[in-house]
Amino acid sequence: MNQDLFSLAGKTALITGATRGIGLAIARAYGRAGARLVISSENIDDCRRVASTLSREGIDAWPMSADLGQQADVNALADAVLDHFGGLDALVCNAGVAPHMGPLAAACDRDWDTTFTINLRSALWLSTALIPSMAARGGGSVVLMASIAGVRGNKSLGLYGLSKAALAQLARNLAVEWGPANVRVNAISPGVIQTEFARPLTDAPALLEKRLALTPLRRVGTPEEVAGMALLLVTPAGGFMTGQNFIVDGGTTIGDGN
């Protein structure tokens, strides 16, 4: 196989929510493929810690924090990236929150605002600020981290699912808008992945057993397996893929429970 298909040599990538879980796995995968990284989360100390760890692994990583709930912070992050690197080749909007668990009717206005601002609006803000630099460099790729909660109903994660469904639609819209400039935009919808976010399920044996019985592969996924898809989407190997929502769930959404 042509190794250049999965190379990011000479490329610069920004990953939000990059200090743990799926975001950290994506950062490591991109770094190992040769990319320079911007490691971002709300906590600058966490960003510095992860950037230092990756640097010891031979990966060029820069810490830059931002509160994705504040548009001014998001714009400042985009400006800092452009000022420091002169442009961007790959953007991964991975950060997300689920402040409300339960029926939609029980969610308060603050839950709605927090969920949609961090999960959706921040991705649009970053894309709006950074995609033009990709176009100016001849192309680039954006990956938006959605969820299978956005492709089917959910009694507990309904509000989160609405924001993730909108994120997948954002990928389609931006793909149409920016495709002529060779900027590709895709979404990834993970199922249950072994992360801190999923611990309420993975740490509950009875709930997990029920969920795995509905998953053809009969296991939870790993952050590295999602990172593999994220790497494909920003390398030449994924060069003809845009506007898609790639589901990485072990078959949960296609299983019939048998």
Confidence of residue 199 (pLDDT cuts 50, 70, 90): confident
Mean pLDDT of 211-219: 89
Phi first, then psi, for residue 150 (nearest 5°) are: -95, 0
Mean pLDDT of 76-98: 97
Whether the pLDDT of residue 1 is over 50: the answer is no
Whether the pLDDT of residue 144 is over 50: the answer is yes
Taking all residues of the chain, what is their mean pLDDT, rounded to a whole number? 95
Percent of the chain beyond pLDDT 70? 98
What is the side-by-side strand order in the sheet with 140-145? 61-63, 36-40, 12-16, 90-93, 140-145, 183-190, 245-248
Whether the pLDDT of residue 56 is over 60: the answer is yes
160 as an active site residue: the answer is yes
Q: Which of the residues 6, 160, 178, 246 is marked catalytic?
A: 160
Residue spans per domain, the chain: 12-248
Mean pLDDT of 114-120: 98
**DSSP for 56-85, written as a single string:** HTT--EEE----TT-HHHHHHHHHHHHHHH
CATH of region 12-248, choose from 3.40.50.720, 3.40.50.1820, 3.40.50.2300, 3.40.50.300: 3.40.50.720
What are residue 37's DSSP bridge partners? 13, 61
